[in-house]
Structure 1
């Protein structure tokens, strides 16, 4: 392998770099480039004299300039484009800006703005630092992964999508690579994973999006989405190549369709270190909010009745994790699953053989004998209102993508039987939310405890201001990835997911009415460190940690990359900074 332009040296949060190149090429390498922050001594040593304006600008000055430029960008998509360009020019400055304005920039670099960027991917295309794998050329998978120039020990994380279930906008073909890049940004900003040690990957298997197939600018494969045996073989070829090239990397599956998401996770979870954020990450953050709400109510998890509206990838993932947590409270698996009622577009999931429920949904099916005794509007399709009226749930979870489906009638019915109902309209974006926090609080006279999938502003009712918890997966997946990297876990166990949820819940002390059930995204570094420590400890307890945990707190914090300009070594010499 040819000499790399730089090497990140171990220790000191990855902020010592040996520079193996010289001259203007340095300005084109985002991890090395610091633009006008290069001191005059550094410019002489690195061959940059005359290539930059004379005045040296320290990082703080560059940060002010970058933030001003960001504010002047017009629409959210223009702000996204500016930040994308900054990330591709200067790694440190981008992540410093993101970390210092995380709550403001997160909706731009990730959801919801990234959804628009994905839809416009082929039009706005510029160089993307990721790997594109084609189902029409599976023989090139290994070579494509090696083309990153990274060795077996250089990668902690592969973030992978096939783009079928992107956010709330569905099949987006090859443009889904941007969701992986967005996740990578959050991993670094929230948990300090070194951006050099992650690789975004898109599995291009075609698309069923007719607008893309008819778009002359579309950059992906121009045929229908491949399914069945050929699809499974392609995924298997990718997993095999990934294990060969990057044997220590966790594979993070992102935004796969519901059937594939569960099937792929079940196929590989006992073979490789793998994690599905839509299934397990969503489950962990929602479970954390539920545990915080149950604690605020002075109750136990085992005393709840759960209704899930929208029993897809996310909804069933939440149920599965809650079952694990209920078993920790002493219930059997059968007893735990007996506390759940799940609905789909076909109505309540039951053992009716004429209904086409998916296999992963059927483990939550209710007995036809049970529902035969219910008073329902249409016995052929038992809807959400019927379930709420007959079950009197304490927890109502919405992952249906059906806006307004938590109607006033349903919510008031639920609140008539529960003092503080836990109601979670989780569908993204806000236009798909099952209900708004303002309506939920109005209909329950302020008694509902709420978490949403999208950010909502605080609500004031009868003199009380209610901070709305956002069940943002960013509270979980960055810390989980960091914990896996620190422990060098060979698997992601159910125990590790539960530990992540419990770690997030432990950070919430409910002391006053209206308080959020979850930590703020402004506190993501602390949250991620807490999650990482818990995950690493659980990995060791479950026997899947390859790195001994002599001091988990120190090991986690030592692994967190910091967005500061690194010390540079040129050849064997340190590039000495100068005071300006």
Structure 2
């Protein structure tokens, strides 16, 4: 293996770096490059004399310049392009900017702007720090992973997508790699995971997106999406190669289609350290909001009646975790599942043999006979209004992607039987939300406890200002990944997901009307650290931790990478003798 341009010294987590190259090459390595922040002495010793303007600009000055440039970009996509270029030039400056303006910049580096960038991927293509694996060349998987230049102990996380289920825009082929890069940015900015210790991976299995297939600029495989046995064999070949090359890495599955997300997670969850954010991350943050709301009402989770409107990957993932939490309160799994009513495009999920449902939905199928005495609008299809009318749910969760599904009639009917209904229109982007917070507050006279999937501004009603909780997965996955890395967990257990949800809920204390059900994204570093400690402790209890937790708080804090310029060391001698 060729000599690396730099080495992060063991135990320092990026605080000190040994530089193994000289001259202008340093300016081409984002982790080393600090541009005009190189001091004159550093420029002399590193061979950078004359390659930079004379004036030295400290990090704070560079941060001011970068933020000004960001604000001057005219459109969200132009802001994204500027940040992409900055990330590819200067790792520390990019993450410092993102960390200090996280609530403002997160919608640019992730949803919703990332969707526009993904659709423009082939046109706007620049060099991307990721691994591209093609189903037409499965024999090259291991070599491609090794080509990243990372060794078996260098990677904590592989962020992997096949790009079929990109939120709100569907199948995007090879462009879905940008969703993995967006997730990587949040793992670092919110959770302090070292950016060098993550690797985005796209599984290119073709695309069914006809616009891409007919685009001469499209960079992915130009054929229909491969499915069935060949697809499964390709995923399995990737998993085997990943375990061989990066044996300690967690595999984070991202934006797989509904037909594969649960199936792949269940296939590998007992074989390797694996996590699906759409299933488990969404479940954890929504469960945290439900627990915070139930606690605010002085009730128990096991006493709720829950409707999941949109029984897809995310919706059933939420239901599965809430069932686990109810079991911890003393119910059997069967008793817990009896408290759920799930809907799909065909209406209420039941055991009617004439209706087709996915395997992961079947545990929530209601017995057809129990609806015999219901008053329904259409006997052939039991819809959301019918369920609310007959069940009187206390919790209504929307993952349907159907804007306006939570109509005024449905919400008022629910609120007529529940003093403080929990109503979560989670579909995003904003245009797909089942209802807006303003509508829900008006229709319930301010009594609804609300969490949304998209960001909404505060709502004022009868003199009370309501801060709307956003059920953003960034409250969970960065801390979970950090906790897994700290304890080097061999698996991600259901108990670890539940621990993450409880950790987020523990940070919410509703004392006055209008408070948010979830922590603010402005507080993500504290949230992530809290989640990481809980996850690592649970991993140890579950017997899957590979590193003993002698002082979990200190271990998590020490592991959190900070966006500051490190000490640079030069040469092969004793590193303590040549600090620059």
**Partners of 2:33 and 2:89 within 8 A in 1:** yes
| Partner SS, residue 293 of structure 1 | helix
Q: TM-score, normalised by structure 1?
A: 0.99
> What whole-Å deviation, never above 9, does each CA across 1:201-259 have from its counterpart, x for those lacking one?
00000000011111111000110000000000000000000000000000000000011
**Partners of 1:42 and 1:575 within 8 A in 2:** no
Would you say 1:304 and 2:309 are equivalent positions? no
Q: How many residues align?
A: 577
> What whole-Å deviation, never above 9, does each CA across 1:425-480 have from its counterpart, x for those lacking one?
00010000000000000000000000000000000000000000000000000000
Aligned to 1:11: 11
> What whole-Å deviation, never above 9, does each CA across 1:392-434 have from its counterpart, x for those lacking one?
0000000000000000000000000000000000001000000
Aligned to 1:233: 233
> What whole-Å deviation, never above 9, does each CA across 1:54-75 have from its counterpart, x for those lacking one?
0000000000000000000010
| Partner SS, residue 206 of structure 1 | coil
> What whole-Å deviation, never above 9, does each CA across 1:128-173 have from its counterpart, x for those lacking one?
0000000000000000000000000000000000000001110000
Counterpart Cα distance in 1 of 2:390 and 2:253: 37
Q: C-alpha root-mean-square deviation of aligned residues, in Å?
A: 0.7
Counterpart Cα distance in 1 of 2:172 and 2:285: 26
Would you say 1:550 and 2:550 are equivalent positions? yes
Aligned to 1:77: 77
Segments ≥4 residues shifted beyond 6 Å: none
Q: TM-score, normalised by structure 2?
A: 0.99
Aligned to 2:178: 178
> What whole-Å deviation, never above 9, does each CA across 1:168-219 have from its counterpart, x for those lacking one?
1100000000000000000000010000000000000000001111111100
Alignment of 1:361-376 (within 5 A): 361-376=361-376
> What whole-Å deviation, never above 9, does each CA across 1:302-349 have from its counterpart, x for those lacking one?
110000000000000000000000000000000000000000000000
Counterpart Cα distance in 2 of 1:541 and 1:386: 44
Counterpart Cα distance in 2 of 1:18 and 1:185: 24
Counterpart Cα distance in 2 of 1:259 and 1:306: 24
> What whole-Å deviation, never above 9, does each CA across 1:522-566 have from its counterpart, x for those lacking one?
000000000000000000000000100000000000000000001
Unmatched segments (≥5 aa) in structure 2:
none
**Partners of 1:79 and 1:108 within 8 A in 2:** yes
Counterpart Cα distance in 2 of 1:442 and 1:66: 42
Counterpart Cα distance in 1 of 2:270 and 2:337: 23
Would you say 1:420 and 2:420 are equivalent positions? yes
Counterpart Cα distance in 2 of 1:419 and 1:527: 30
Aligned to 1:540: 540
Q: Cα distance, 1:76 vs. partner? A: 0.1
Q: Cα distance, 1:12 vs. partner? A: 3.2
Would you say 1:56 and 2:23 are equivalent positions? no
Aligned to 2:30: 30
Alignment of 1:276-295 (within 5 A): 276-295=276-295
**Partners of 1:426 and 1:434 within 8 A in 2:** yes
> What whole-Å deviation, never above 9, does each CA across 1:368-400 have from its counterpart, x for those lacking one?
110112111112110111011110000000000
Q: Cα distance, 1:283 vs. partner? A: 0.1
| Partner SS, residue 121 of structure 1 | coil
Would you say 1:399 and 2:423 are equivalent positions? no
Counterpart Cα distance in 2 of 1:468 and 1:250: 32
Counterpart Cα distance in 2 of 1:165 and 1:2: 38
Aligned to 1:472: 472
| Partner SS, residue 363 of structure 1 | helix
Counterpart Cα distance in 1 of 2:390 and 2:13: 55
**Partners of 1:567 and 1:575 within 8 A in 2:** no
| Partner SS, residue 308 of structure 1 | strand
Aligned to 1:357: 357
Counterpart Cα distance in 2 of 1:114 and 1:575: 42
Q: Cα distance, 1:575 vs. partner? A: 5.4
**Partners of 1:479 and 1:527 within 8 A in 2:** yes
Would you say 1:530 and 2:530 are equivalent positions? yes
Q: Cα distance, 1:294 vs. partner? A: 0.3
Alignment of 1:259-274 (within 5 A): 259-274=259-274
Alignment of 1:82-231 (within 5 A): 82-231=82-231
**Partners of 1:45 and 1:575 within 8 A in 2:** no
Counterpart Cα distance in 1 of 2:379 and 2:241: 50
Q: Cα distance, 1:10 vs. partner? A: 1.9
Counterpart Cα distance in 2 of 1:394 and 1:331: 18
Counterpart Cα distance in 1 of 2:15 and 2:565: 7
**Partners of 1:310 and 1:344 within 8 A in 2:** yes
Aligned to 1:511: 511
Counterpart Cα distance in 2 of 1:356 and 1:388: 23
**Partners of 1:23 and 1:48 within 8 A in 2:** yes
Q: Cα distance, 1:13 vs. partner? A: 3.3
Unmatched segments (≥5 aa) in structure 1:
none
| Partner SS, residue 509 of structure 1 | coil
Aligned to 1:521: 521
| Partner SS, residue 7 of structure 2 | strand
| Partner SS, residue 260 of structure 2 | helix
**Partners of 2:118 and 2:176 within 8 A in 1:** yes
